[in-house]
Structure 1
Amino acid sequence: MAAAKRRQQMKSRLSTYVSVDLTDYAVVDHEDFNTALCWTPLTNKKHINEAKLLSYFDHFQIYATTPTALKKTVRKGVPLNQRAQLWFECSGGRTFLTKHPTLFDENLAEFVFPDPLPVTHYEAELDVSLDHLTERGVASLRRLLMMLYHEFPHIPSCPLLPAIASYFLLFMEDRECHACMSAILQSIDDNYFDCSQRSYAASLRTFQDLAKVLLKPVYRDVLNTVAKSKGEDKSIIFQDWMVWIFKYLPKDVVIRMIDCFMIEGRKIFYRMGLAILIIFHKHYLRNNREGLRTFNSTQLESIRQFVKFLPVSSDLLLKTGFNISGLSRKTMTKYFEHNKRLIDQGKLLYQFDKTTNAVVVGPLPDQNSNIVEPKQWSQIWNMIPDRFYIKVPIMLFTSAEHGCSLKTFYLKAADHEPMVLLIKTLEGEVFGAFVAASWERRKKHPNLSFFGTGESFLFTLTPEVERYAWCGRVAYEMMMKNSSDAGAKAASKFSSMNATDKRLAFQRTRTGSLENFCHYFMAADDSCIIIGGGDGYGLWLDAELNKGSSARCQTFMNQPLTNSKDGTFVCACVELYGLIDT
């Protein structure tokens, strides 16, 4: 009797958290969605004990030791009408929402969202499928990700966040989803999300290590040839194994995995990734024994295609993953921490690539710009060094309001650093520079002598987006990674240089320092400002902020920022922004 009463109370509470109409976010209608995702046990012989599952909700905390009984119960399957409650409780969302009941609404009202909403930085990190969301659902997800990005500026990278949040939105309102994601992000437990590129790279390599230890026949037949060809100690072979899961697996399987993720943490994804390898090995061996012996890196794509058209049932995939023995949290953590140390020591090479159409949606300036739209400002934010993500931009100077005077420019700039300089020409071209040093330093460097740091760079926004970093920084990174694919990608930036420019870019001292690279970052006096020097000025402006020029310079190895034949231009507007602490 007590259990029945408790069950009724819980169902009443559930209505609070599943009040969103799934037809707003899911691509199928409500009945089909319920049918597709409703709970079905892994075996007909055992059924979930609903009362037992509900009994955990008031006591279980996501950061406490996971109860074995709850883990086993959830693995059997969670009823659809209890999933939202499970996720809400186990993620810590309820506790977060209780402590911050108005945070979501306040931030939603204050945040200025670009229109149309661009692909966010978090989305760019992992190629996942969002085809389970409607257009409205995708927009809701991107608004949520933008808010989280600014609420947690110390977490500029979190590849799994968009995928997990997109499924949470199917079962709860935006406010509850925000609370759940915030609760996980603010915790100190890294068992759920990788909150840095370093951590994510370590996770990718850990999957490879676990396959080698736990799936020896699979590793021997499928991975060994690839590992040797890539340099096993320095490479991450499966850089897209997370994509197998979140882009190609059936949605009902992904949702069942998220059920377990709330209880077991990221270990469930390792289990499913390894299960994919086991099934791939079995089917590939059966159908292509000779091909397996010569399996190589160019055939890794075949695994992705295999997952896309998985020839086994969802239940069999889940069972295979759950039955992998030896995959303990202790083992997983051991390899994970070891790989993080390898990355720190430079012994594990990995380039974290972003999709080309992705932008970091940064905070908008305090005043509207006469030069760039919010989307273009996001493109600028995508270029700046990571350590400045926690800062916000303020407009220091605009020629539209303060006039065309270099003296006023210096007065408004004061000792702010770093800064972003924007220029729009009469021809409609938009370009500028990021400078890491204050213009006040010109007083210590008379006669147009140069100062500044290697974080400075030039950029163009219109007609094309391009960033020109200091050649010393780019070349140094290339040399440090010249044995990896990342080095080859970086080297392509210099493929169009002539022989002289290449010698300048790669010239180094015997000790490996960067002293021989051009350090002509910034120079200024009462007559002009210069950004980038060496056989030409990357960007030059006169004292009236009216005329300027741009040429190729050795410091940034840039192309002229303007398309005019002689490299000169006339300014339509000049703006300067400072990046300050919040």
Structure 2
Amino acid sequence: RLRCQKGVPPSLRGRAWQYLSGSKVKLEQNMGKFDELDLLPGDPKWLDVIERDLHRQFPFHEMFVSRGGHGQQDLFRVLKAYTLYRPEEGYCQAQAPIAAVLLMHMPAEQAFWCLVQICEKYLPGYYSEKLEAIQLDGQILFSLLHKVSPVAYKHLSKQKIDPILYMTEWFMCAFSRTLPWSSVLRVWDMFFCEGVKIIFRVGLVLLKHTLGSSDKLKSCQGQYETMERLRALSPKIMQETFLVQEV
């Protein structure tokens, strides 16, 4: 746990995530399953949506920069396989950045089983059609905020800003589309080790340091200004050293 808090060495990160998540065991219990899913055609309804999302994932990363390049192909394979593995769930757009981060650290088959663990063990129900789990966790985050930062809690209540408006992308993408890259990796190290509570803690740190004092609230009096502030978080509070220490 301490190692994960200090940050996993980059050369070991992919393997560490597989061990911590239990995806290595899952793969060993299901040898050949990914290859089997990979060969199936898949449901055209999902394939079209996945295809449209491929170029949006980390477009400046060398792995995903070229249309039809090996990174985008592997991303397609992993996401398609998941829709066949869990046809009742299908595909959710927030799974694409999650799978992309995994593919930067491991081959497609390993990334697939790691994605399965995130969807089923770490964030169960987050990617189902009705988003009930994410709404519930939004309410839990809000009630925790009452303890952590009464000022931020009071402000968001007064502005009638529902948690779903600001925390959906944070939680569903495990901050991969919010934080700077070095912070994403450190948060994921802790997330794989300690679970969803890390996602809650990061969310609370961001809210507290964005809206947690009367000084900070001067520039976001209304609902629109508050939402803008939460969309454009201060780089200082997202910086790796500060954030990890606060979490």
| Partner AA of 1:310 in structure 2 | P
Equivalenced residues, count: 231
Q: Deviations over 1:154-187 (max 9, x none)?
A: 33465653332211100110011112223454x5
2:31 matches 1:97:
no
Change (3 A) 1:73 1:291: same
Trace 1:274-285 onto structure 2 (pairs within 5 A): 274-281=204-211, 285=214
How far does residue 79 in structure 1 lie from its aligned partner after superposition? Answer: 0.6
Q: Deviations over 1:533-554 (max 9, x none)?
A: xxxxxxxxxxxxxxxxxxxxxx
Please give the alpha-carbon distance, in whole angstroms, between the structure 1 residues aligned to 2:241 and 2:125.
Answer: 26
| Partner AA of 2:144 in structure 1 | L
Counterpart of 2:143 in structure 1 is: 209
Counterpart of 2:235 in structure 1 is: 310
Trace 1:438-477 onto structure 2 (pairs within 5 A): none
Please give the alpha-carbon distance, in whole angstroms, between the structure 1 residues aligned to 2:18 and 2:199.
Answer: 20
Change (3 A) 1:206 1:139: farther
Give 3-state SS (helix, strand or coil) of 1:120's partner. helix
Counterpart of 1:79 in structure 2 is: 9
Please give the alpha-carbon distance, in whole angstroms, between the structure 2 residues aligned to 1:246 and 1:276.
Answer: 14
Q: TM-score, normalised by structure 1?
A: 0.36
Query: Contact 1:226–1:296 (CA<8 Å) still a contact in 2?
Result: yes
Give 3-state SS (helix, strand or coil) of 1:303's partner. helix
Counterpart of 2:126 in structure 1 is: 194
Q: TM-score, normalised by structure 2?
A: 0.78
Counterpart of 1:153 in structure 2 is: 87
Please give the alpha-carbon distance, in whole angstroms, between the structure 2 residues aligned to 1:239 and 1:310.
Answer: 21
Please give the alpha-carbon distance, in whole angstroms, between the structure 2 residues aligned to 1:150 and 1:279.
Answer: 42
Q: Which runs of 5+ in 1 are unaligned?
A: 1-70, 231-235, 323-582
Query: Contact 2:57–2:100 (CA<8 Å) still a contact in 1?
Result: no
Give 3-state SS (helix, strand or coil) of 1:276's partner. helix
Please give the alpha-carbon distance, in whole angstroms, between the structure 1 residues aligned to 2:76 and 2:191.
Answer: 22
Query: Contact 2:151–2:214 (CA<8 Å) still a contact in 1?
Result: no
Q: Deviations over 1:62-114 (max 9, x none)?
A: xxxxxxxxx23211111111111111112222112212221222221232587
Q: Where in structure 1 do 4 or more consecutive aligned residues deviate above 6 Å?
A: none
How far does residue 190 in structure 1 lie from its aligned partner after superposition? Answer: 5.7
2:192 is matched with which residue: 232, 252, 262? 262
Percent identity between the two aligned chains: 21
Please give the alpha-carbon distance, in whole angstroms, between the structure 1 residues aligned to 2:228 and 2:198.
Answer: 23
| Partner AA of 1:89 in structure 2 | Y
Counterpart of 1:383 in structure 2 is: none
Please give the alpha-carbon distance, in whole angstroms, between the structure 2 residues aligned to 1:271 and 1:159.
Answer: 24
Give 3-state SS (helix, strand or coil) of 2:31's partner. coil
How far does residue 152 in structure 1 lie from its aligned partner after superposition? Answer: 0.8
| Partner AA of 2:58 in structure 1 | L
Q: Which runs of 5+ in 2 are unaligned?
A: none
Q: CA RMSD in A?
A: 3.1
Please give the alpha-carbon distance, in whole angstroms, between the structure 2 residues aligned to 1:112 and 1:155.
Answer: 13
